[in-house]
Amino acid sequence: MRSYIVKKRGFTLIELLVVISIIALLIAILLPSLARAKELANRAVCSANIRGIIQSCYIYAQSNNSQFPATESAATGGLLLNKGGAPGGPSATPATPQTAGSVTAAWYPAAAPGVSDPLSCLWMLVLQGQDTPKSFICPSDPIATTPSLEYQTTTSTSAQYYFNFDNIVAAGGPNYNGQGESYSIACPWNDSGGVGGWWTDNSGSDVPEVSDMAPASPGSVATPGSTLERDTAQPVTGNTYGNYIYNSGNHNGDGQNVGFGDDHVSWEVNPYVGQSGDNIFTFQSTAADGPGTSGYNGNQQQVDSSSTAVSMLFNTPPYDICMLPARDVSSGAW
């Protein structure tokens, strides 16, 4: 009987290279689509976070004379980004300290620096159990990736170590340096040192209240040439740089989620979404040029990483909303 040996034929080197090339080509084609799908999913999570913040503000307002959470203003005629003072309702009555377990978290010690900033207002929601630190993280934020701690229990109970935007390093660690927040709120204080009419539960569906982190101009506005550069006062008409030039850094400069007074959230490709076309990432320094006026676009003031004051001059609609805090997209500096 004759026996036969069957030889198995393997792939040749050329065949393997062809297969590898096809796989590489497919990956190259699919990766952008996958990245796009991931970003769209991140936008949905971000939108839910912002809507949750506004809903938490509504819950807070039910027990605080229709006012959203706001610390007491410590300045008039120019609102400091870092504000001192105690929190309160419209009458600015200091609140009672909150207690968490064995740790008493003093709300806002009047002598401490940087304790009455916009993020401290959000911290009030956390202290009252209406929101969590994780809810303040946008999954597309390249800078804020770790939630802030609700309480700092080892060295201090001051608000500045939780939800603030000072680069405070006394307590050590990134969670104490304002790096755990991805969102800005409409600056709550008006030019008289009180709480503005926009920061209430009846402000209206066209009033922006919360957004992806506002972009700060880096001290002085250089000639744009990088997607990390920001010129927030750049007009839409005639803009040749791309939308990144005036948008938040949370979503690669493509746009930002913006939540409005009726708690709906929309994706916006530029910041000119306030009442009468108000730019929510700038403010006006003269009462003659509010939203809808002919001189509005020419007199917008940018918030940069070295700013100390923002004026909120328009206390009746249309409001001049300015989202704070603002963060340098390139360095992460507040």
E strands along 197-330, which residues?
208-212, 214-216, 256-260, 265-268, 282-284, 300-302, 309-310, 323-324, 326-328
The count of other CB atoms within 10 Å of the CB of residue 255 is 20
Contact (Cβ atoms closer than 8 angstroms) between residue 191 and residue 315 = yes
Point out the residues of the chain with pLDDT beneath 70.
Answer: 1-10, 71-117, 149-179, 193, 218-225, 305-309, 333-334
pLDDT in tens, 252-280: 999 999 999 999 999 999 999 999 999 99
Which structure tokens are listed for 183? 């969102």
Q: Where are the domains of the chain?
A: 186-328
The count of other CB atoms within 10 Å of the CB of residue 19 is 11
Q: Which amino acid is at 231?
A: D
Which structure tokens are listed for 35? 């990245």
The pLDDT of residue 143: 85
Assess whether the previous peptide bond of 271 is cis (omega < 30° from 0): no
The pLDDT of residue 117: 65
Nearest partner of 105 among 89, 126, 122, judged by Cα: 126
This prediction has a pTM of 0.78
CA 224 to chain centre: 22
The pLDDT of residue 188: 87
The pLDDT of residue 124: 79
The pLDDT of residue 121: 79
User: Any bridge partners for residue 260, and if so which?
Assistant: 208
pLDDT in tens, 121-155: 787 788 778 888 889 999 999 988 877 766 554 44
- The C-alpha atoms of residue 99 and residue 83 are separated, in whole angstroms, by 23
The pLDDT of residue 334: 67
Kindly give, in sequence order, each residue whose CB lies less than 8 Å from that of residue 13, ignoring residues fewer than 6 positions away. Answer: none
End-to-end CA distance of the chain: 88
